[in-house]
Amino acid sequence: GESVGLHLPTLSVQEGDNSIINCAYSNSASDYFIWYKQESGKGPQFIIDIRSNMDKRQGQRVTVLLNKTVKHLSLQIAATQPGDSAVYFCAENNYGQNFVFGPGTRLSVLP
């Protein structure tokens, strides 16, 4: 087995609080970004996306912010619930090239 692995950043929040998950992307030419949620034992699931001509996009309880100047993406989850506990990945895409996934952040919702 593997004795050394990725140390996933972990964010712990109280149920009902807002969560902010951050992601630094690598390619300044990337023009499309997706946030995925991965629950234990499941595949990644789409949450929200944003194109580079926008700096903010809102969904249901989620908001994605894009700062192209510093190549930073964030996912805000309002009123975090126990069901939000998962690993969250950002993925970037550069004009039709393949998606590159970040290492992920583990969100732990405390009761």
Partner 1 sequence: DAGVIQSPRHEVTEMGQEVTLRCKPISGHDYLFWYRQTMMRGLELLIYFNNNVPIDDSGMPEDRFSAKMPNASFSTLKIQPSEPRDSAVYFCASSLGQTYNEQFFGPGTRLTVL
* Choices 20-28, 44-52, 64-72, 76-84 (CB under 8 A): range interacting with partner 1: 44-52
The three-state secondary structure class of 76 is strand
Torsion on CA atoms 89, 23, 66, 30, rounded to nearest 10? -80
C-alpha separations of 81 from 13, 17, 29, 94, 111 in Å:
9, 8, 35, 33, 9
Determine if 14 is a binding residue for partner 1 (CB under 8 A).
no
Among 16, 59, 82, 103, binds partner 1 (CB under 8 A): 103
Residues that bind partner 1 (CB under 8 A): 1-2, 4-6, 32, 34, 36, 41-46, 49, 51, 89, 93, 95-96, 98-99, 101-104
